[in-house]
Amino acid sequence: MGIQMILNAKAEYGVPVKIYTKDVDEESLTQLRKMSQLQFIHSHIAVMPDVHLGKGATVGSVIPTKNAIIPAAVGVDIGCGMNALRLSLKASQLPDNLSALRNAIERKVPVGFEMHKQIKSKASTLSPLDKKLQVITDKHPALRRMLRSFDSTWQKQLGTLGGGNHFIELCLDENQDVWVMLHSGSRGLGNVIGTYFIERAKKEAQSRFGHVPDKDLSYFAEGSANFDDYVEAVEWAQEYAFENRREMMRLILEAIRPLLPRFQMTKEAINCHHNYVQQEIHFGENVFVTRKGAIRAGLDEYGIIPGSMGAQSFIVKGKGNPNSFCSCSHGAGRKMSRTKAKHMFNQQDLIQQTQGIECRKDKAVVDEIPSAYKDIHEVMANQDDLIEVVHTLKQVLCIKG
């Protein structure tokens, strides 16, 4: 359907905000207007159809910046994203009762605040991460004081899910093929890195740059020591998040193999971020693109757009649309806060909305009820000029943090 709303800039340095939906609340619009006033935004801000209010920056926004990065726009779940893998199994080869599969995965992959009791990852994975991290913490030793048992914690959390909307699912596609899909990020250390540099950006903005439209839009200017150190740290956290998902996938496959017929992994495997920043060229300029709840959808580039725990999800291929900075939505997007969802719905509502899915159905996860999210089909219709659907998935098993 294309761009449906444009907020035109009024400030001296403002840029337009191009929005791929009409379903956007006033608080998010206010947040987007503030962001558009920053003088280093390149061309415009693109806003995906799963847009909703975020901390620091609006979730679903794609922010191209010249010579600056906004740490709060990247957020604290640095490198959060998705991993999906198709197996050589059909739906008919799954057991009628999936509880044993769910239990096996939960024994292998710690969820919520839990971590592995022992380090699970190989030295070949840990050693490069450790060397790069040492360089970062030598320059910023305060990071080590922000995470209890620093070294053992980040290593034991590699291959763990976390909480909130992070999940592991078994899904079936339109051909009744079985997929494993998961959603997670950079865990405790990514949060620490994000929190630490967000606060440094606020202090730097006050001392060097004067007024910003919102303190959460405080930024580092390219060329400063903080800028270079943040880029180094955020790249580390994004690499860690990628490896975390890969390690989790390995553990999931290890958990389910004894309970299923022999299977192989197909070549269809995707591992993509949706909270991150990287350098790209758009409209003839080399810029830093921050995707806050959005995935890259370059021409023929594969991505994952999950629905809620009771809705369909999609494997997609990008169309490389320049107006979206080659981006698309990262999911359905929340339509209400967790607090509001807990007030509006109860455990029975959750049970009803997740019928046929092997998952937690207790009141602790009511805030993840499908009705708390936007209609994924409407979200997909609003971005049909950004992506094409390759596979449609429906979960049969879901593990929440």
Q: Which of 216, 199, 173, 197 is CA-nearest to residue 314?
A: 173
φ and ψ of 128, to 5 deg: -60, -40
Residue 77 among known ligand-binding residues: yes
Residue 128 among known ligand-binding residues: no
CA distances from 105 to 108, 254, 269, 310 (A): 5, 9, 19, 20
Residue 330 among known ligand-binding residues: yes
Distance CA 230, CA 58 (A): 21
377 is catalytic: no
Cβ pair 353, 310 in contact under 8 A:
yes
Residue 166 among known ligand-binding residues: yes
CA distances from 374 to 150, 165, 355 (A): 38, 14, 19
Cβ pair 159, 114 in contact under 8 A:
no
Distance CA 275, CA 293 (A): 5
Candidate list 330, 343, 377, 391, residue with the active-site label: 330
Q: Which residues pair with 46 in a beta bridge?
A: 18, 62
Residue 313 among known ligand-binding residues: yes
Residue 104 among known ligand-binding residues: no
Residue 275 among known ligand-binding residues: yes
Q: Which residues pair with 157 in a beta bridge?
A: none
Q: Residue 102 corresponds to which amino acid?
A: R
Cβ neighbours for 363, distance < 8 A, ≥ 6 positions apart: 346, 347, 350
Residue 52 among known ligand-binding residues: no
Residue 333 among known ligand-binding residues: yes
Residue 306 among known ligand-binding residues: yes
Residue 356 among known ligand-binding residues: no
Residue 377 among known ligand-binding residues: no
φ and ψ of 368, to 5 deg: -100, 10
Residue 309 among known ligand-binding residues: yes
Residue 113 among known ligand-binding residues: no
Q: Per the annotation, where are the binding residues?
A: 77, 165-169, 183, 274-275, 306-309, 313, 330-333, 400
Catalytic amino acids?
Answer: 330
Q: Per the annotation, where are the binding residues for GMP?
A: 165-169, 274-275, 306-309, 313, 330-333, 400
Q: Per the annotation, where are the binding residues for Mn(2+)?
A: 77, 166, 183, 274
